[in-house]
Chains A and B, each alone.
Chain A
């Protein structure tokens, strides 16, 4: 049972109260993007066995979108943070480094 703490309203929400929104920190390619970049934005996804960053919506709560850093193997949650950012904040990255030395995920880590 996955429990994430909503960084906006502070509720520790069960996954049945949340809607998963897929990979976080995607660059939204648009007019002018080449085929490879647009394909990457639409279809290619990080699919790590380990540290992952995701979007979630507190659908049956405050309704806000937020981000979560999570391990896809153990379901350990490293932290949640507001969605108004293009990359994971330093304190979350430090927490992950403490628990998963040598981790990497796209350009972060």
Chain B
């Protein structure tokens, strides 16, 4: 790799395989911010790291924007980014009530996969997964995408049939997955006990190009790229009302004053119901807490992501060595960002059965995020009854993996009024009975 640095003018931190794509980018011209590169590291090291500029600008809100996005999490920032990059709409503000990426973007277990059953889901999740492949290069920010492979264990005969069906559906959709044997599971992940007493491993749905990424970096990378395009990212600015004239949106009231806009995008995950209430419509959504926890760091012991949905637990190992563990969601509405304690016990119990070697592992941290669940467990990317107001919500327990694809589709929807990625995910699909039923098919631990 080192000899390449002599001939490639602007290398980026991250993977090395896509430099030509980077150089051929048509939107090269709007990169005004200093690029991150090995030369930048050397340059700044030589002056004792005094020259690094802020990753994104902190600006006061203007009076009016073409588009306001509420929510500076991954989905909101990705929407803003693709509005600018794909559609040339750069007079955009992204408003955030807390800090950037401090909601579910910073609280998930960073799993990326696209092995869904239904065609509309496979389309948007696979778009997303494929965008992750080159996201570090596209953003000039290392999001640490690690396509280490994701396996979803089949531990009941129902799951075996379900995952075989999904593998066939994925083959038709062009999503590379495979149904694998217990022996292959053991090869890929030696620490699994495949002969567990309650739920032996009967096989698995394996997606070799699934994996993980650094969740904070995804938000930071998009934020930096948005700021670089001249967009305003305004933190600690809570929306308190959605202003409208007739049936059209005119702006928002915030803790930093009134801001006008032509179009409004609500991209706030767990708080979608609260914002929808301000905008004057109801959603088919209920918010619950979903928990995750991480262990003390240990030596590398597992280089794939394993999801065990029958027993409600999933685990991967972070680059720091921590085992990152996700569990079940609460059964009742709440906004606690904490979650019920008994879920931890259930999750840990299940994982110890599957991975006996972790039984003495100490847990370092536990936290919760508020996930917004729809009736069919699929998201909503849609126009709303309020003209000019769009909503992107309902990602439930699996939004992180969808960030780039969701932003891509949402931006197209907001710019053009329709997008092939989002057409099936409308708000009126519930009334019309066009469900995208992933609640059982995806086998996700809800």
Contacts and interface: CB of A to CB of B under 8 A. Distances in A.
Interface of A: 1-2, 15-16, 19-20, 22-23, 35-36, 39-40, 42-49, 52, 54, 72-75
A45 B286 contact: yes
A68 to B, nearest CB: 9
B273 A47 contact: yes
20 contacts: A1-B340, A16-B342, A19-B331, A20-B331, A40-B282, A42-B430, A43-B375, A44-B283, A45-B282, A47-B283, A47-B287, A47-B333, A48-B273, A49-B273, A52-B333, A54-B333, A72-B333, A73-B334, A74-B336, A75-B334
B165 interface: no
B31 interface: no
Interface in B357-411: 372, 375
A19 B341 CA distance: 16
A25 B58 CA distance: 46
A12 B332 CA distance: 18
B346 to A, nearest CB: 10
Contacts of A75: 334, 336
A47 B341 contact: no
B282 A72 contact: no
Q: 8 nearest interchain CB pairs?
A: A47-B273, A43-B284, A20-B332, A39-B431, A20-B331, A43-B430, A44-B282, A72-B334
Contacts of B335: 49, 72-73
Interface in B334-349: 334-336, 340-342
A55 to B, nearest CB: 10
Nearest to A47: B273
Given A1-B342, A47-B273, A49-B287, 4 more contacts: A42-B375, A45-B286, A49-B271, A74-B336
Contacts of A48: 273, 333
Interface in B286-307: 286-287
Contacts of B38: none
Contacts of B286: 22-23, 45, 47
A54 B332 contact: yes
B274 interface: yes
B242 to A, nearest CB: 16
Contacts, number: 63
A49 B274 contact: yes
Interface in B228-284: 271, 273-274, 282-284
B342 A45 contact: no
A52 B182 CA distance: 46
Which of A1, A40, A45, A48 has most chain B Cβ within 10 Å? A45
Instruction: Pick from A43, A44, A46 the residue with the most CB of B within 10 Å.
Output: A43
A42 B336 CA distance: 26
B44 to A, nearest CB: 44
A42 to B, nearest CB: 7
Nearest to A55: B332
Contact of A47 (B285, B340, B375): B285
Contacts of A19: 331
Interface string B40-61: 0000000000000000000000
A22 to B, nearest CB: 7
A12 to B, nearest CB: 16
Interface in B419-434: 430-431
A47 B334 CA distance: 9
Interface string B294-334: 00000000000000000000000000000000000001111
A13 B285 CA distance: 27
A47 B286 CA distance: 5
Contact of A39 (B333, B340, B372, B430): B430
Nearest to B282: A44
A28 to B, nearest CB: 17
Contacts of A72: 287, 333-336
Contacts of A16: 342
Query: A44, A47, A73, A75: which has the most chain B beta carbons within 10 Å?
Result: A47
Contacts of A73: 334-336
Contacts of A49: 271, 273-274, 287, 335
A23 B284 CA distance: 12
A15 B274 contact: no
Contacts of A54: 332-333
A36 B332 contact: no
A91 B283 CA distance: 30
